[in-house]
């Protein structure tokens, strides 16, 4: 049952409708009835769908949104191969029985059945609905919409781009621009340590982005060797770790927690598994958003807050400033991995 827009969401004062994305019908620029979809306003993201057989609505305020994830919209090539094999095999079998045994009814039965199945698989491959996913990560909550048509896939990219613009307070063209340092309210000039931190953040991220500037989506998806990471997996990991480190630094500078960080890498496994199905452009936007938040957090903290001590579960005791320095060092480590991966993949691509 399709639900009227007014039953899904009542706009708050100063809240403005942006887009509605229907899982099947695509993007709408005016409030529309939805059975399953996402609604984006300038204040929140709303998911509408079914959970455990019942209509459900989930809402996440924009300030909690951490990432937007897109999966691919590829058809299953296995269907194409199976269809061609069955169709060709069925026709060949029917021909041989008809000519050699001269039994037309048997030829139609034994050869016709696999041929018909092959035609069905080919039609399913050619005419089947494309599918993918758009996921909005907001803290521990994930709003996931299955995309059931090419219209919804195109609309999903538009909605994701607008969401990133709202999060960064800028147009899409401005998202890729490096943040301009602004003096902290406590002083009219950034301290040498803070300037050095911002400079190294920009330099190490610049090197990483330059490495992948001309990389195509297929190359970024491949792994150099078994057990090694693809370029996409490296980029997704860098963005996730950066978000976590900055969140830890913010908590630490306010003394909200005596201990920060994860004890192991297990929490990153889901991101690694999904990275190769995401468009490279989406991962690069994710990196830009994470870095803008890092630069803003670095400038928002006072000098005293940067010197607060925290205990990290893996790194031991360190200051908030040292924790933020780990961000660009992590960039450097994975830029080295990306560089080595591309060197290993390039000969294979050219040959």
Asked if residue 170 belongs to a domain, the reply is: no
Q: What is the pTM of this model?
A: 0.51
Examine residue 171 and state whether it is found in any structural domain, yes or no: no
The answer to whether the beta carbons of residues 246 and 74 sit under 8 Å apart is no
* Residue percentage of the chain with pLDDT more than 70: 79
DSSP strand pairing (44-51 vs 37-41): antiparallel
pLDDT at 188 over 50: no
Contact between 125 and 74 under an 8 Å Cβ cutoff? The reply is no
Report for 113-122, 126-135, 192-201, 303-312: range of highest mean pLDDT: 192-201
d(CA 283, CA 254): 30
24-39: average pLDDT: 86
Q: Do 59 and 85 share a domain, yes or no? A: no
Residue 294 CB contacts under 8 Å (≥ 6 apart), including other chains: 201, 242, 246, 324, 327
pLDDT for residue 349 is more than 50: no
Answer yes or no: do 228 and 199 share one domain: yes
- Whether 287 is covered by a domain: the verdict is yes
State how far the Cα of 3 lies from the Cα of 284, in Å rounded to an integer. Answer: 36
Domain boundary among 164, 186, 213: 164
**60-69, 148-157, 210-219, 236-245: range with highest mean pLDDT:** 210-219
Q: Is there a single domain that holds both residue 193 and residue 294?
A: yes
247 and 143 both lie in a single domain: no
Instruction: Give the N- to C-terminal CA distance of the chain in Å, as an integer.
Output: 54
pLDDT of res. 202: 92
pLDDT tops 80 at residue 344? yes
Confidence band of 339 (pLDDT split at 50, 70, 90): very high
* Assigned domain for 208 exists: yes
Q: Closest Cα partner for 146 from 162, 160, 131?
A: 131
d(CA 142, CA 139): 8
Least confident range of 111-115, 150-154, 244-248: 150-154
Whether residue 39 is found in the same domain as residue 92: no
User: What residue numbers bound the domain in which 248 lies?
Assistant: 176-350
CATH number at residue 150: 2.30.29.30
Q: With bands split at pLDDT 50, 70 and 90, how would you rate the model's confidence at 106?
A: confident
Distance between CA atoms of residues 150 and 69, nearest Å = 17
Q: Is the pLDDT of residue 203 over 90?
A: yes
Whether 210 and 332 map to the same domain: the answer is yes
pLDDT of 257-300, one tens digit each?
556 665 445 555 666 777 888 888 778 877 887 888 888 888 88
Domain membership flag for residue 169:
no
The mean pLDDT value for 211-223 works out to 90
Is the pLDDT confidence value at 189 over 70?
no
Residue bearing the bigger pLDDT, 256 or 115: 115
The total number of structural domains in the chain stands at 3
Query: Based on the domain organization, do 260 and 300 belong to the same domain?
Result: yes
**Position 335 pLDDT exceeds 90:** yes
Q: Say what the pLDDT of residue 330 is.
A: 92
Indicate if 7 and 33 belong to the same structural domain.
Answer: yes
- Angle at which helices 320-350 and 231-253 cross, to 10°: 180
* Same-domain check for residues 155 and 271: no
Last residue of a domain, one of 144, 164, 184: 164
Residues in a beta bridge with 51: 54
Section 67-71 average pLDDT: 79
pLDDT band at 211 (very low <50, low <70, confident <90, very high): very high
Q: What is the CATH number of the domain that holds 199?
A: 1.20.120.450
Cα atoms in the Cβ-side hemisphere of radius 13 Å centred on 240: 22
Judgement on whether residues 145 and 114 belong to the same structural domain of the protein:
no
Same domain, 136 and 13: yes
Q: Assess whether 111 and 62 both reside in one domain.
A: no
Residue with tokens 């000098």: 303
């Amino acid at each position: 049952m399709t639900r009227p827009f007014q039953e899904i969401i009542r706009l708050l004062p100063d809240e403005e409708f942006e887009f509605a994305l229907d899982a099947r019908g695509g993007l709408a620029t005016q409030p529309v009835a939805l059975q399953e979809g996402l609604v984006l306003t300038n204040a929140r993201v709303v998911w509408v769908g079914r959970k455990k057989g019942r209509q459900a609505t989930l809402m996440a305020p924009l300030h909690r949104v951490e990432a937007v994830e897109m999966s691919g919209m590829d058809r299953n090539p296995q269907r194409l191969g199976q269809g061609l094999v069955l169709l060709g095999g069925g026709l060949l079998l029917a021909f041989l029985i008809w000519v050699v045994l001269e039994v037309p009814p048997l030829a139609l039965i034994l050869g016709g059945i696999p041929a018909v199945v092959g035609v069905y698989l080919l039609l399913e491959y050619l005419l089947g609905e494309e599918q993918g996913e758009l996921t909005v990560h907001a803290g521990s909550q994930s709003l996931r919409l299955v995309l059931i048509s090419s219209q919804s896939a195109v609309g999903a990219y538009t909605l994701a781009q607008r969401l990133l613009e709202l999060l960064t307070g800028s147009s899409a063209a401005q998202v890729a621009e490096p943040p301009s340092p602004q003096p902290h309210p406590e002083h009219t000039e950034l301290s040498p340590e803070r300037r050095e931190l911002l400079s190294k953040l920009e330099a190490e991220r610049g090197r990483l982005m330059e490495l992948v500037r001309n990389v195509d989506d297929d190359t970024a998806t491949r792994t150099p060797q078994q057990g090694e990471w693809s370029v996409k997996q490296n980029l997704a990991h860098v963005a996730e770790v950066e978000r976590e480190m900055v969140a830890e630094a913010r908590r630490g500078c306010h003394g909200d927690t005596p201990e920060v960080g994860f004890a192991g890498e297990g929490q990153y496994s889901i991101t690694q598994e999904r990275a190769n199905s995401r468009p490279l452009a989406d991962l690069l936007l994710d990196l830009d958003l994470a870095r803008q938040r890092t630069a803003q957090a670095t400038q928002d903290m006072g000098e005293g807050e940067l010197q607060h001590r925290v205990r990290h579960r893996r790194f031991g005791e360190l200051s908030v400033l040292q924790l933020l320095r780990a961000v660009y060092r992590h960039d450097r480590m994975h830029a080295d991995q990306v560089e080595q991966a591309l060197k290993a993949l390039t000969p294979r691509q050219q040959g």
